[in-house]
């Protein structure tokens, strides 16, 4: 599958590595590709402009900071995004580390702004290491999906499989409105990380025992 990742940070590199190993054709998109292409951590990745990354991928991945995501997508333009699937991993924080979308979600904002783009929110509740290597956890965790397009969620499910997230570990929350829960979990995520001294953890939905 051809995948265009928007962003060149830890998240983009981790996902690009995982999907490259699985055999996918990935590129990283940057607003300044020449400068980013000289960063040692990006050695081995194809780094292109964000428009080129969008043109490359049938599936796109928003791995940009949540406060910058809309600007990047607007630069690409609605026409270039139409008909594509967007895996939205972004969570936005203000300079004071408050949520940038306290009463809604970035996923909802993107979907409303680009109705011909199929947005699927996922991977927003774990750090970059666990995203691409869920096997690093002591036991299987739960990862969530939110989106209005079932076919798009089916595509994303397969990509999650390729990272090691089994079907049993994936929980479909419903429409894109449920992306709020994923993004707002970031506040609890930060609290847990501080309490245990690590970002490398997951969460697991445990069902009640049968009556």
DSSP state of 210: P
CB 69 within 8 A of CB 90: yes
Query: pLDDT tens-digit profile of 73-124?
Result: 999 999 999 999 999 999 999 888 889 999 999 999 999 999 999 999 999 9
In whole angstroms, give the CA distance from residue 200 to residue 23. Answer: 25
Residue 66 lies in a domain: yes
- Answer whether residue 204 is part of any domain: no
**CATH code of the domain covering residue 136:** 3.40.50.720
Question: What angle do the packed helices 150-163 and 10-21 form, to 10 degrees?
Answer: 80
Whether residue 211 is contained in a domain is answered as no
Rounded to whole angstroms, the Cα distance separating 2 from 4 reads: 7
Name the average pLDDT for the chain.
Answer: 94
pLDDT of residue 31: 85
Q: How confident is the model at residue 38 (pLDDT cuts 50, 70, 90)?
A: low
Q: What is the mean pLDDT of residues 168-174?
A: 98
Total number of domains in the chain:
1
Binned at pLDDT 50, 70 and 90, residue 45 comes out as confident
Domain of residue 95, residue span: 2-196
Q: Is residue 58 part of a domain?
A: yes
In a domain, 36, yes or no: yes
Tokens 């609290």 correspond to 191
Mean pLDDT of 173-183: 98
Report yes or no on 155 lying in a domain.
Answer: yes
Averaged pLDDT, 39-62? 90
The reply to whether 71 falls in a domain is yes
Comparing 21-25, 62-66, 98-102, 103-107, which segment has the lowest mean pLDDT? 98-102
- How far, in Å, CA of 94 to CA of 146, rounded? 23
For residue 37, pLDDT over 60 is answered with no
């Amino acid at each position: 599958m051809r995948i265009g990742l928007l962003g060149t940070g830890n998240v983009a590199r981790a996902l690009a590595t995982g999907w490259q190993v699985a055999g996918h054709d990935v590129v990283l998109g940057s607003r300044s590709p020449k400068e980013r292409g000289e960063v040692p951590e990006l050695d081995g990745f194809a780094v292109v402009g964000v428009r080129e990354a969008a043109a490359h991928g049938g599936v796109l991945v928003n791995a940009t900071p949540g406060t910058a995501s809309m600007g990047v997508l607007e630069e690409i333009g609605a026409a270039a995004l139409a008909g594509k699937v967007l895996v939205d991993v972004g969570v936005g924080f203000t300079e004071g580390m408050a949520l940038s979308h306290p009463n809604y979600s970035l996923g909802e904002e993107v979907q409303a702004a680009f109705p011909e783009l199929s947005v699927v929110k996922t991977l927003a509740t774990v750090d970059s290491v666990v995203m691409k290597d869920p096997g690093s956890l002591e036991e299987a965790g739960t990862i969530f999906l939110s989106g209005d397009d079932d076919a798009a969620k089916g595509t994303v499910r397969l990509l999650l499989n390729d990272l090691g997230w089994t079907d049993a570990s994936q929980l479909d929350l419903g429409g894109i409105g449920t992306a709020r829960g994923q993004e707002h979990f970031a506040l609890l995520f930060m609290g847990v990380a501080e309490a245990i001294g690590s970002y490398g953890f997951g969460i697991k939905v445990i069902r009640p025992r049968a009556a």
